[in-house]
Amino acid sequence: MKKFISLKNQLLIAMPSMQGSDFSKSVTLICEHNEEGAMGIVINHPLDLSTNDLLEHMAIPCSQSRNINPVLAGGPVQTDRGFVIHRAEKLWKSSIHLDQDVAITTSSDILHAMGREEISNEAFIALGYAGWGAGQLEQEILENSWLNVPIKAEILFETDINTRWQKAANTIGFDINQLSYYSGNA
C-alpha cells in the first residue's frame, strides 16, 4: 500500500501547460489535503473588486484610506464563500493555523477588524476555493500539471499579486517560463 503524503501547507504552482484554464499561472495555497481530497485557495488571481467594495457590499463600515487591495478569485468552487488569508499574529473566531506565519479565517469578526484598520495590511480576501476529490490532485501532479513548494509567507504578503507565480517558481531554482509545454520520450 502506497503511503499518503499530505500537501497541506504547500503552494501549488501551475505549470505553463495549464494555459487557458481557470488555473493558468496560478499559485494555490493548500489548506487541507487528506485521503478524501484537497482544498486550496488561489492567491494570485485578482477580481475587479476591492476590499472596500466588498466590505461596503456586506454593510461593514470601513475606512476609505487603506482597504483598496483587490479581492482574489480563490477558485471555482463556492465563489460566494469568503476566506481571509493573514499573518498568524492573532487568531479570530474561526481561524486555522496553516503554519507559524500564516492563518486562514472564515468568520466575519476579521472583516470588521479590517474595516476598522485593526489588522495589518498583511491580509487579503479570496472568494471561492479550489477542490479536488480523492486522488485527483495526486494524479494531476503525476501528469505534470503542478509543482509544489512549502508555504512562503513572503510570497503571500510581501510579493505583488502579479509576480507571485514567478516568485513561487523561483524558489525551486529555475525559470518556469523555460519549461516546455510538452513532455515526451527520448
Q: Are 40 and 12 in contact (CB under 8 A)?
A: yes
Averaged pLDDT of the chain? 88
4: DSSP letter = P
Q: Kind and range of the H or E element at 133?
A: strand 123-133
Whether the pLDDT of residue 119 is over 90: the answer is no
C-alpha distances (whole Å) from 44 to each of 41, 99, 139, 156, 167 are 9, 19, 23, 9, 11
pTM given for the model: 0.90
Cα within 13 Å of Cα(148), Cβ side: 15
Task: Dump the DSSP string for 64-131.
Answer: TTT--PEEEE--SEEEEEEEEEEETTS--TTEEESSSSEEEE-SHHHHHHHHTT-S-S-EEEEEEEEE
The rounded distance, in Å, linking the Cα atoms of 148 and 171 is 10
Q: Are 129 and 78 in contact (CB under 8 A)?
A: yes
Whether the pLDDT of residue 113 is over 80: the answer is yes
Q: Are 130 and 75 in contact (CB under 8 A)?
A: yes
Q: What are phi and psi of 109, to 5 degrees?
A: -60, -35
Domains and CATH numbers, the chain: 10-177 (3.40.1740.10)
Whether the pLDDT of residue 61 is over 90: the answer is no
Instruction: For residue range 152-184, list pLDDT tens digits in order.
Output: 999 999 999 999 999 999 998 866 766 655 544
The rounded distance, in Å, linking the Cα atoms of 101 and 162 is 22
Residue 1 pLDDT class (50, 70, 90 cuts): low
**Average pLDDT of span 96-105:** 90
